[in-house]
Amino acid sequence: MIQVGQQQVNGGARSWEILAASMTIHYAAVNKDGTWHEVGDRILPGKEPVFIFEKNLKRVQDKDWPAADAISAKRT
C-alpha cells in the first residue's frame, strides 16, 4: 500500500512523503525568486536517509496559461 501526505511549510517551502511497504520517500521543495528547488531522500527503518533526487527549475517568463489561447472542446 502506498500513502501520500503533504504538508505546507512556511515561506514557499513544502515537504511531502510517500509511504510504501518498508520505506519512505521524503521530498522537500522551495519556490523562491522564480526558482523551484526540490530534493528527495529514501528512508529505510534504522538506516540513514539516502539522497536519490534533485531538481532545479527556473521560471523564464510569465504566461496566462491555461486561460489564454485556450482551445474549446469539440463536440461530436
| The pLDDT of residue 59 | 84
| The pLDDT of residue 1 | 47
pLDDT tens for residues 38-62? 999 999 999 999 999 999 999 887 7
Which set of grid coordinates corresponds to residue 26? 521524503
Arithmetic mean of pLDDT over the chain: 82
- With b meaning 16 or more CB within 10 Å and e meaning fewer, what string describes 19-51? eeeeebbbbbbbeeeeeeebbbbbeeeeeeeee
pTM of the entire predicted model: 0.69
Question: Pick the residue with more confidence: 13 or 46?
Answer: 46
